[in-house]
Amino acid sequence: MTVAAIFLPLLGAFIAGFFGRWIGDRGAQIVACTGVALAAAFGVTLFVDVALDGHNVTTQLFTWLDAGDLQVQWALRFDTLSATMVAMVTVISTMVHVYSVGYMAHDSSVPRFMAYLSFFTFFMLMLVTADNFLQMFFGWEGVGLCSYLLIGFWYDRPTANAAAIKAFVVNRVGDFGFALGIFAVYALFGSLQFGAVFDAAPNFAHTPFIFLGWQVDALTVTCILLFVGAMGKSAQLGLHTWLPDAMEGPTPVSALIHAATMVTAGVFMVARLSPLFEYAPTALAVVCVIGGSTALFAASIGMAQNDIKRVIAYSTCSQLGYMFFAAGVSAYSAAIFHLMTHAFFKALLFLGAGSVIHAMSGEQDMRKMGGIWRLVPVTYVLMWIGSLALAGIPPFAGYFSKDMILEAAWASGSRVGLYAFWLGIIAAFLTAFYSWRLLFLTFHGKPRADAEVMHHVHESPKVMILPLVVLAAGAIFAGWLGYHDFVGEGRESFWRESILVLPDHASIEAAHHAPAWVGELPFAMGVLGIAVAWIAYIWRPGIPGVVARSLRPLYLFLLNKWYFDELYDALFVRPVMALGVAFWKRGDGAVIDGLGPDGVASVTSRLSVRASRLQTGYLYHYAFVMLIGVVLLVSWYLLRQIGS
């Protein structure tokens, strides 16, 4: 069953991808959806069996590498952490698959799309069930590949290609860190198996390690390097620039990969490696600061964006920040809890946005929407549910998980924990604000689209709405249902040994004893955010314009995403491009080509012309050449004879 849960999507991808021409669009859709649906059935069964009933299993497949000391197995590791992820990934993936049947119905390459989606699902499952670092890296790179393929799915659009390349390159930076981290792990522990490494981790706390000529704490460096990988994949501050651009991909892709699953791989990785991070408090502090900063930073940008998908993309970035600072204060279970609830409501929001875009004939700019709530009532309600969950309004899912994260951050008592807590509180306000800004701009007010578009506004087909309903159910109930097991009283027996928290890092326990105001503050901030959004966009619609004008520098700063793209462009892209052009034109073109292929070729052809010019056609020239030859040979021997 474990094998089936992982490899059915691969099989589906294989059939849809390679035989799509024969089985047709419909066939590819059926095959791919069946594959993931079965995987989801197995995944949920496994979740019940492994996580709830406590039957951990590790399925050994076969030996991958056996070179000297390095031995790597293909194995599927099922404990509570991975079973949770498998169930979540397969369920969301199934919903997205089904949704795509409707959303991509008019696309010209449906089988390719379905194949990529299933292929991605396989890699994601590979990543979460990895039993060693290398297999995790395999899945890690695989999801990166699929992300690249899917962002650039509409490869005839230059912007999509640019976004795909950007995502790939930025992830390369992170992956480089991840790879270095893996090397460091192997250098330290001599093994890449999770079990062996985790068992040995306590012995290596405070071990010095020479890195770039500096003597540093081994585990801290290792964990920070690994976290750099997580930052790339999870779009954390500094390496986040690819995520908003990734919205060039089809909306189901944004929902599945860039909201629910792949981008959370970094959080999963930190949780999975909790036995390492727990012994590297400095690294945890770094995680916490980066996470808290990202939460606020991304939320602030989200306020000023006009593209409906970009708002949600920055929201994702911000929520990932929450998860990271939860992990940073050792509240891994809270991070995974939020990861799970977030997967539901963020997928819901994205797919809902897709439904809106679908209704608006492909329009994504919120300034050209408005007043359509009567026309798409179901989508409207679903978007409300998603936003309520995101803003952390009880009893929706986000309330439980976000509250727990913030309480844990406060309760951890550390300085970085408090830093993250206060940034998180502000971000909670901003989150509510931009969510309702989105809702009000999109659905309320006067229609700003032209009559032609408004005429075509229609509710999406059932095949798109049904998955949304399922996700909405998750967004409503997941928090309430999961609270007990994930972060509540039952957490010890639920997580067991899949997550390690040292006794003096027990922030979740402390969170349960936090003062009441800590738990109520996020909720209050959420309500405040909604109220402000209502004032600004419904009651007095003139306010945003006034604010934007009077605080123009700040507005532009946010609109332009803190100028990160421009900064990177000036710092990295342009110098590298200049260097590349220099190498290309001067190095390769002039020197290598000039001396090498081109030079040799031109010398050859020049020599060739000369050689054929020797052939004058005159008999006496020929005889002369022969005589010269004889004279040369004879004098050579005469000179040699004299010399000897």
Partner 1 sequence: MNDALPSFVPALPEMFLAASAMVLLVLGAFQRGPHVAREIGWLGVVALAVTAALVMSFGYERKVSLYGMMVTDGFGMFMSVLTLIGAGFAIVMAMRFNEREGVARFEYPVLVLLSTTGMLMMITANDLISLYVGLELQNLALYVIASFQRDQTRSSEAGLKYFVLGALSSGMLLYGASMVYGFAGSTNFDTLAHTLEASNASIGLIIGIVFVAVGLAFKVSAVPFHMWTPDVYEGAPTPATAFFSIAPKTAALALFVRVMIYAFGELVDQWQQIIMAISVASMILGALAAINQRNIKRLMAYSSIGHVGYALIGLAAGTPAGVRGILVYMAIYVFMNIGTFGVILCMRREGRLVEGIEDLAGLARTQPMLAAALAIFMFSMAGIPPLAGFFAKFYIFMAAIDARLFWLAVLGVVTSVVGAYYYVRIVKIMYFDEPKGAFDPGIGREMQAVVLISAMVILFFIVFPSPIVGAAELASATLFPG
Q: Which stretch binds partner 1 (CB under 8 A): 339-347, 380-388, 486-494, 632-640?
A: 632-640
Q: Please report whether residue 596 would count as binding partner 1 according to CB under 8 A.
A: no
Radius of gyration of the chain, Cα coordinates, nearest whole angstrom: 30
- Identify the three-state secondary structure at position 38: helix
CB 481 within 8 A of CB 51: no
Question: Which positions ≥6 away from 49 have C-beta within 8 Å?
Answer: 55, 83
User: What burial class does residue 481 get, using C-beta atoms within 10 Å of its C-beta: 0-12 exposed, 13-18 middle, 19+ buried?
Assistant: middle
Q: Per the structure block, which two tokens stand in for 139?
A: 């899945």
Q: Per the structure block, which two tokens stand in for 545?
A: 């314009």
At closest approach, how far in Å is the CB of 610 from partner 1? Answer: 8
Q: Which stretch binds partner 1 (CB under 8 A): 312-320, 449-457, 520-528, 626-634?
A: 626-634
Q: Which is nearer to partner 1, 524 or 627 (CB)?
A: 627
Q: Please report whether residue 595 would count as binding partner 1 according to CB under 8 A.
A: no
Q: Please report whether residue 643 would count as binding partner 1 according to CB under 8 A.
A: no
At closest approach, how far in Å is the CB of 599 from partner 1? Answer: 14
d(CA 637, CA 118): 79
At closest approach, how far in Å is the CB of 613 from partner 1? Answer: 9
Q: Which stretch binds partner 1 (CB under 8 A): 43-51, 443-451, 574-582, 627-635?
A: 627-635
Q: Which stretch binds partner 1 (CB under 8 A): 229-237, 399-407, 458-466, 616-624?
A: 616-624
At closest approach, how far in Å is the CB of 630 from partner 1? Answer: 5
User: What burial class does residue 205 get, using C-beta atoms within 10 Å of its C-beta: 0-12 exposed, 13-18 middle, 19+ buried?
Assistant: middle
**Helix or strand (DSSP H, E) at 473:** helix 462-486
CB 445 within 8 A of CB 367: no
By CB under 8 A, the count of residues binding partner 1 is 25
Q: Please report whether residue 608 would count as binding partner 1 according to CB under 8 A.
A: yes
Q: Which is nearer to partner 1, 552 or 621 (CB)?
A: 621
Q: Which of 60, 63, 306, 605 is close enough to bind partner 1 by CB under 8 A?
A: 605
Q: Which of 212, 215, 612, 643 is close enough to bind partner 1 by CB under 8 A?
A: 612
At closest approach, how far in Å is the CB of 603 from partner 1? Answer: 10
Q: Which of 158, 213, 542, 617 is close enough to bind partner 1 by CB under 8 A?
A: 617
Q: Which is nearer to partner 1, 538 or 630 (CB)?
A: 630
d(CA 475, CA 640): 98
Instruction: For the chain, give percent helix, strand, coil, nearest 5.
Output: 80, 5, 15
Q: Which stretch binds partner 1 (CB under 8 A): 48-56, 106-114, 418-426, 630-638?
A: 630-638
CB 82 within 8 A of CB 334: no
Q: Please report whether residue 609 would count as binding partner 1 according to CB under 8 A.
A: yes
Closest CA relative to residue 385, chosen from 473, 259, 253? 473
d(CA 73, CA 70): 10
Q: Which is nearer to partner 1, 542 or 643 (CB)?
A: 643
CB 347 within 8 A of CB 256: yes
Q: Which stretch binds partner 1 (CB under 8 A): 126-134, 404-412, 476-484, 612-620?
A: 612-620
Question: Binding to partner 1 (CB under 8 A): which residues in 472-501?
Answer: none
Q: Please report whether residue 598 would count as binding partner 1 according to CB under 8 A.
A: no
At closest approach, how far in Å is the CB of 608 from partner 1? Answer: 4
Q: Which is nearer to partner 1, 539 or 620 (CB)?
A: 620
CB 508 within 8 A of CB 491: yes
- Identify the three-state secondary structure at position 75: strand
Q: Per the structure block, which two tokens stand in for 377?
A: 């009532």
DSSP E strand stretches across 160-218: 208-211, 214-217
d(CA 301, CA 315): 9
Q: Please report whether residue 516 would count as binding partner 1 according to CB under 8 A.
A: no
At closest approach, how far in Å is the CB of 593 from partner 1? Answer: 17
At closest approach, how far in Å is the CB of 606 from partner 1? Answer: 9
At closest approach, how far in Å is the CB of 617 from partner 1? Answer: 6
Q: Please report whether residue 637 would count as binding partner 1 according to CB under 8 A.
A: yes
Q: Which of 67, 212, 516, 619 is close enough to bind partner 1 by CB under 8 A?
A: 619
Q: Please report whether residue 546 would count as binding partner 1 according to CB under 8 A.
A: no
d(CA 217, CA 498): 25
Q: Which is nearer to partner 1, 502 or 607 (CB)?
A: 607
**Helix or strand (DSSP H, E) at 57:** strand 57-67
At closest approach, how far in Å is the CB of 618 from partner 1? Answer: 10
Q: Please report whether residue 602 would count as binding partner 1 according to CB under 8 A.
A: no
At closest approach, how far in Å is the CB of 592 from partner 1? Answer: 18
Q: Which of 48, 547, 570, 607 is close enough to bind partner 1 by CB under 8 A?
A: 607
Residue-wise burial string across 567-591, b where 16 or more C-beta atoms lie within 10 A, e elsewhere: ebeeeeeeeeeeeeeeeeeeeeeee
At closest approach, how far in Å is the CB of 620 from partner 1? Answer: 9
Q: Please report whether residue 639 would count as binding partner 1 according to CB under 8 A.
A: no
Question: Which positions ≥6 away from 143 have C-beta within 8 Å?
Answer: 120, 123, 124, 127, 233, 257, 261, 262, 265
Question: Which positions ≥6 away from 428 have C-beta within 8 Å?
Answer: 391, 392, 402, 406, 522, 525, 526, 529
Q: Please report whether residue 621 would count as binding partner 1 according to CB under 8 A.
A: yes
Angle at 428 between CA 425 and CA 429, to 5 degrees: 95
At closest approach, how far in Å is the CB of 598 from partner 1? Answer: 14
Q: Per the structure block, which two tokens stand in for 440?
A: 């009000």
Q: Which of 556, 570, 591, 623 is close enough to bind partner 1 by CB under 8 A?
A: 623
Q: Please report whether residue 611 would count as binding partner 1 according to CB under 8 A.
A: yes
CB 251 within 8 A of CB 353: yes
Q: Please report whether residue 641 would count as binding partner 1 according to CB under 8 A.
A: yes
Q: Please report whether residue 560 would count as binding partner 1 according to CB under 8 A.
A: no
Q: Which positions lie near partner 1, rule CB under 8 A?
A: 604-605, 607-609, 611-612, 614-615, 617, 619, 621-623, 625-626, 628-630, 633-634, 636-638, 641
